[in-house]
Amino acid sequence: MKKFLAILSLSITIVLGQPPRSENPNLKFVFEPDSISLNVGESKTMTVRLVDKDGKQVQAAFTVRGQRKALSVEPRLSDSTGVSEITVKAYKSGKLSLRAYARGVKGEYVSGRFTVDVPDPPLDRIVFDEPTDKVYTGTTVNYSVKVYDEANLVRDDLEVKFTSSNKNTAEFDRFGNLSVKKAGRFSITAAVENIEKTLKVSSKKNPVKTLNMLAEAKQIRTGDVVKFTAEPMNSRGKIVKDVPIVYSFSGNAIYADKFVNNSSSESVGLPAAGLITDEGKFVAETPGIYTITAQTSGFSAMAKVKVVPRNVQRRIEVVGHGTVSDHHTSDLWVWPGVGKHKGKDFAVTGTHSADGEAYFWDITDPSKMAIIDTIKVDARTVNDVKISEDGRVGIISREGASNRKNGLVILDVTDPFNVKITKMYDDNLTGGVHNVFIYQDHVYALSAGTRYDIINISDPSNPFRVGSYELDTPGHSIHDVWVENGIAYSSNWADGVHIVDVGGVPQTEQSRDKKNFNPFLALAGKGSPGNPIKLASKSDPNGHNHATFPFVSQSTDKFYMINGDEWAKRIPGSEESIYQGGFHFVDFTDIDNPVETAIYQVPEVGSHNHWVEGDILYAGYYYGGIRVLDISGELLGDLYAQGREIAFFEGRDPNGKIPNETNVWGVIPYKGLIYFADHYNGLWAVRLVDDEPMGTN
């Protein structure tokens, strides 16, 4: 019976990632005509109506958005008549989706989807990726290509066949790997459907006579990266630089307790898992003895490395908890008091799918945290809450207002016991403000999920817009923006992260401070809040870039973007969704060549907002609670599997809005504690305990 109850509890938790929106069953969207087909680059007009169950038009504004990076829609926002004439343009092929939605219509949410059929254009050309036209006998060389159609789109849905003109000299396997057998001249051909591309190649006798192996270390921890360097030598003892090297590894795993007892290294059932790159960088997920092998030209060399447990796990203990039982809790912010409240500490939390309240907390004694004031505005959701650097101005966002003006609310929080509304600001923000950020007397506010507007609040009672930043890609949208050192980092779903100069002070390589190193400051100096200038971007191949945090590694010279996913996946046979997402670590140290090097993904758990302090990541993981991760050193591979997780905690409360469940929204480290907002039950303060280590992997 106990086993059954455990399984039932798990299934309930999975479907409670985020509470489902309250959809109005009596309203729907009607698309006219009821089907359309477009070619890539073609546009057509259509009509979208919001109607009731009797087919009568409903007076309400709504938004229509095309599939990201595939369909554009103009205009996106309708007027309040409940009907919109739109122009749809196709940029990619496939069964593409058009989505209409409205929030706050009769207090509820309405959505509708429409499929646009866009056939594949004819194929146009094949292009080799960095082709090698000189090879050595006894080696294996990989060839890859890109296939373009007549719309100049890369077609990655096709299988390309590679062939050699002389199989006795060189021959391909099915994966594009060419095995070179003899010296000579030949050609290779890549073909798909009715197009092909040929490359002339020459092979010559291999000069390699020996192969040496160098290693940076003989012992590392799980998660540490060690570089192995293979040196192919010719008969004169000189390194042959252009010979391909193939690295591989094998391992004998060791259970953690055997390191303690110094017993045999033999084990049963535990795989020796790890990763090695084409450049010879190796990282292990499990302790053990690993053999790294390098091969080329019929020669091989080996080196061994011992991998010991990382031993970073710690215990979390609760310091305080403030229950919110009547509403879902959204985001949080924590700050020190000013003026007569200097020496005190405060927090603010928002509410979601409720009645427009934001709560202000005294957390000076976190074990006795208490709500000291409440601000109520016309909104269903106060999604985001922020406090200015000087602790005097607060901003709360509005979504689902009854008058559909939404926008943001500027607060005087000098006295958190008596918070006052300074100004309602909704100029061109009527589509709803999901997230905001305050930086140097300016608010960066998302507008209808399409752009961020930059609003001057040097006089909080007289705010005015000075600039905005919006992408020009089809179906573009934005979820979040974060500003540091005059550089804005926005999270744009499929368009990924955009890095924008909004007033960064130029910094030279020679004058940089390692703790504040930011490669983008070398390019800064021309942008301002009134003139935001894009510096760089990196798209998200998964299409789920939800939040970005810039991270200066305190233990290396690297600068990372930590890009968080958020996406929902349908449970087969059910209308329920589970949220699955993780964090992608993109090395932006070389801003011209950003590379994703690592990922942190907790199985079957969805990520939300995150924060970095020092070399530690603090992450809100929905129903996975808060997660604390060691991100010191070079980051490569699967960080979860490497035993880098320091701790996790699930804050469950029998008196919460949803009793005995957890759903962490946001997390902030502050004065040695970890504060987090739980969507189901309010505000928490916890801390890591040093004196009770919990083991390792």
13 part of a folded domain: no
User: Tell me, what CATH number does 49's domain have?
Assistant: 2.60.40.10
pLDDT band with cut points at 50, 70 and 90 for residue 264: very low
The string of pLDDT tens digits covering residues 496-521 is 999 999 999 887 654 556 566 889 99
Residue 327, domain CATH: 2.130.10.10
pLDDT of residue 487: 97
Same domain for 239 and 105: no
Structural element, H or E, at residue 367: none
**Any domain includes 506:** yes
Least confident of 114-128, 250-264, 314-328, 595-609: 250-264
Do 567 and 461 lie in one domain? The reply is yes
459 and 562, same domain (yes or no): yes
Q: What is the pLDDT of residue 11?
A: 31
Q: Is 230 in the same domain as 184?
A: no
Of 275, 291, 308, the one marking the end of a domain is 308
User: Quick one: average pLDDT of 63-73?
Assistant: 94
Average pLDDT over residues 64-69: 94
Q: Which of 175-179, 274-278, 571-575 has the lowest mean pLDDT?
A: 571-575
Are 469 and 345 in the same domain?
A: yes
Same domain, 81 and 186: no
Residue 453 near residue 414, CB atoms below 8 Å = no
pLDDT for 542 equals 85
pLDDT of 581 = 85
Residue 547's nearest CA partner among 631, 613, 469, 480 is 480
d(CA 561, CA 641): 20
Give me the domain span that covers residue 496.
315-689
pLDDT score, position 579: 75
Number of domains, the chain: 4
> What are the structure tokens assigned to 127, written together?
């292009």
Examine the domain organization and report whether 139 and 97 are in the same domain: no
Is residue 255 pLDDT above 90, yes or no?
A: no
pLDDT of residue 137: 95
CATH assignment of the domain containing 158: 2.60.40.1080
575 within some domain: yes
pLDDT tens, residue by residue, 610-657 = 999 999 999 999 989 999 999 999 999 999 999 999 999 999 999 999
- The rounded distance, in Å, linking the Cα atoms of 345 and 338 is 9
Mean of all residue pLDDT scores within the chain: 91
Q: Determine if the peptide bond prior to 33 is cis (ω within 30°).
A: yes
| Residue-level pLDDT at 463 | 98
C-alpha separations of 312 from 289, 521, 629, 630, 647 in Å: 20, 34, 9, 8, 9
Last residue of a domain, one of 185, 204, 223: 204
Q: What is the pLDDT of residues 332-352, one digit of tens each?
A: 999 999 999 999 999 999 999
Tell me which residue has tokens 């591309």: 197
Residue 21 counted as domain residue: no
Distance separating alpha carbons of residues 17 and 610, to the nearest angstrom: 17
Q: What is the pLDDT of residues 95-113, one digit of tens each?
A: 999 999 987 676 678 999 9
- Give a yes or no: residue 14 inside a domain: no
Q: Do the domain assignments include residue 11?
A: no
Whether residue 365 is found in the same domain as residue 436: yes
Question: Residues 544, 490: one domain?
Answer: yes
pLDDT at residue number 447: 92
Residue 188 has pLDDT above 90, yes or no: yes
598 and 563, same domain (yes or no): yes
pLDDT at 690: 81
pTM of the entire predicted model = 0.91
DSSP string, 178-200: EEE-SSEEEEEEEEETTEEEEEE
Structure tokens at 631: 């991100």
Bridge partners (DSSP) of residue 204 are 136
Provide the edge-to-edge strand list for the sheet that holds 315-323.
315-323, 682-689, 673-678, 664-670
In a domain, 512, yes or no: yes
Q: Which of 308, 331, 365 is the last residue of a domain?
A: 308
131-148 per-position pLDDT tens digit: 999 999 999 999 999 999
Give pLDDT, residue 557.
Answer: 83
User: Degrees (nearest 5) of the Cα angle 324, 444, 618?
Assistant: 50
Residues 479 and 609 in one domain: yes
- Residue 450 lies inside a defined structural domain of this protein: yes
Here the tokens at position 172 are 């391909």
The answer to whether the CB of 275 falls within 8 A of the CB of 251 is: no
One domain, residues 302 and 324: no
